Amino acid sequence: MKNIVILISGRGSNMEAIVEACASQQWPARIAAVISNKLDAGGLRYAADRGIATASVNHKDYATREDFDAELARTIDGFAPDVVVLAGFMRILTEGFVRHFEGRMLNIHPSLLPAFPGLHTHARAIEAGCKLAGATVHFVTPELDHGPIVVQAAVPVLPGDTPDTLSARVLQQEHAVYPRAVRWFVEGTLQVNGHQVAQTEGEAQLVVAAA
């Protein structure tokens, strides 16, 4: 049984998709904890209601990023994680923290990386006139939103899209691909070679949603 620790900052819909897939697909894993940097993150209630351990580490209680990350790492380590899953965890992480979990920490970013790292991805994709947008699950490395890519989902950008309509279309695909990526990790079917990640069972690492 592998231990999955999920970090959230808000509603936690990706976390929910992972919790549900882990149970319904009988992964060789359990959700060991859901941890938030915000005490009022909606997703904490969802996890607690399902008997999952929860914890919060409020970043406002720490004078420096390093202090916060050290306490966060201690809290995560308390749940003996095999994989740390960032699911809408809205904090920039220090290099020390990332190195501590390197190779066993995943993130989902709502763009087709390497396009649009950082914030406001949907507004930027619309503004740039992109015809495709999407989401990327990647291993976390010290450079923000740049780690080896595990899976991507692409959706069309439609005439008249707003950041909200595009984000809803992308989020639907996030809920499909993030559980898949975490399952691959806990099943041990990912092979990382530099920036390239292969799925050893030949499962699709690209989803293209119909227009």
Binding site for ligand GRF (CB under 6 A): 8, 10-14, 87-88, 108-110, 135, 171, 174
Q: Burial, 210: exposed, middle or buried (Cβ in 10 Å; 0-12, 13-18, 19+)?
A: exposed
CB of 7 to ligand GRF, least distance (A): 10
Per the annotation, the verdict on 122 as an active-site residue is no
| Closest CB to ligand GRF among residues 12, 81 | 12
* Distance separating alpha carbons of residues 183 and 175, to the nearest angstrom: 13
| Closest CB to ligand GRF among residues 14, 205 | 14
Q: What phi and psi, each to the nearest 5 degrees, are found at residue 22?
A: -60, -45
Q: Burial, 92: exposed, middle or buried (Cβ in 10 Å; 0-12, 13-18, 19+)?
A: exposed
CB of 86 to ligand GRF, least distance (A): 7
| Closest CB to ligand GRF among residues 13, 94 | 13
Which of 109, 122, 138, 175 is labelled catalytic? 109
Q: What phi and psi, each to the nearest 5 degrees, are found at residue 18?
A: -70, -45
Which amino acids are annotated catalytic? 109
